[in-house]
Amino acid sequence: MMLRPVQQPHPPVWVAANNDAAVVRAARLGDAWVINPHAKLAVLERQMGVYRQALRDAGRAFPAELPIIKELYLAPDRRTALQECRPFLEAKYKAYASWGQDKALPEGDSFAHEFEELVADRFIVGDPDDAVREIRRYAERLGTSCFIFRVQWPGMEQGRVLRTIRLLAERVFPALQASEPGPRRSA
């Protein structure tokens, strides 16, 4: 590369991982594990134990920033949010399953669920208060400090995406800041 990084020796290298072996590799080789958006919270909690043990085994400290990717959709109420995002999020995860992507998840987890069960403890879908609660829950239970939200899926109209972004900016982020310290925000 012609451009040299400003950070020395280099910017932090975040390593994404779905299954346990990849989580161990992320602990050994990366500056942080990028926690996947696909697994249920209970699976991620168990994997956090795998990650912490792998860090200890490698003689490495817990990272200053721990990122997680989450599928996120907001509407004025939870029922509307589930109804509006369903065709897009459901189609995305059916495609992922047809590609075998859920095979990379830990044993016993898959995308083969009815939509509301697929969403539960896996994605953040609801109203702004639901989002604040879920973000805090992931931060508390996993130690995540940086959230990367995926707010648009193939075929979704831009107006709905912009509404989610507006609700994040106007209702979710201010509520999270009011209770600092907490996760950094990223959209």
Residue 1 in any domain: the answer is no
What is the pLDDT, as a whole number, of residue 184?
A: 54
Model confidence band, residue 108 (pLDDT cutoffs 50, 70, 90): confident
Helix (H) or strand (E) holding 48: helix 41-57
Rounded mean pLDDT, 49-63: 97
What is the pLDDT, as a whole number, of residue 180?
A: 62
What is the pLDDT, as a whole number, of residue 1?
A: 63
Q: How far is CA 110 from CA 9, 26, 39, 94, 117, in A?
A: 39, 22, 8, 11, 11
What is the pLDDT, as a whole number, of residue 101?
A: 82
What is the pLDDT, as a whole number, of residue 46?
A: 94
The more confidently predicted of residues 37 and 182 is 37
Give strand pairing partners of 140.
none
What is the pLDDT, as a whole number, of residue 8?
A: 76
Cα separation of 16 and 19, whole Å?
A: 10
Q: What predicted TM-score, i.e. pTM, was given to this entire model?
A: 0.87
**Per-residue pLDDT at 97 exceeds 60:** yes
**Which residues constitute the domain of residue 156?**
14-178
Residue 2 in any domain: the answer is no
Q: What is the CA radius of gyration of the chain?
A: 17
Residue 37 in any domain: the answer is yes
Q: What is the pLDDT of residues 134-179, one digit of tens each?
A: 999 999 999 999 999 999 999 999 999 999 999 999 999 999 998 7
Residue 5 in any domain: the answer is no
What is the pLDDT, as a whole number, of residue 187?
A: 47
Q: Mean pLDDT for the chain?
A: 90
The more confidently predicted of residues 9 and 65 is 65
What is the CATH number for 38?
3.20.20.30
Domain total of the chain: 1
Q: What is the pLDDT of residues 115-136, one digit of tens each?
A: 888 899 899 999 999 999 999 9
Rounded mean pLDDT, 7-34: 92
Residue 102 in any domain: the answer is yes
Model confidence band, residue 6 (pLDDT cutoffs 50, 70, 90): confident
Residue 6 in any domain: the answer is no
Rounded mean pLDDT, 48-63: 97
Residue 4 in any domain: the answer is no
Rounded mean pLDDT, 54-80: 96
Residue 7 in any domain: the answer is no
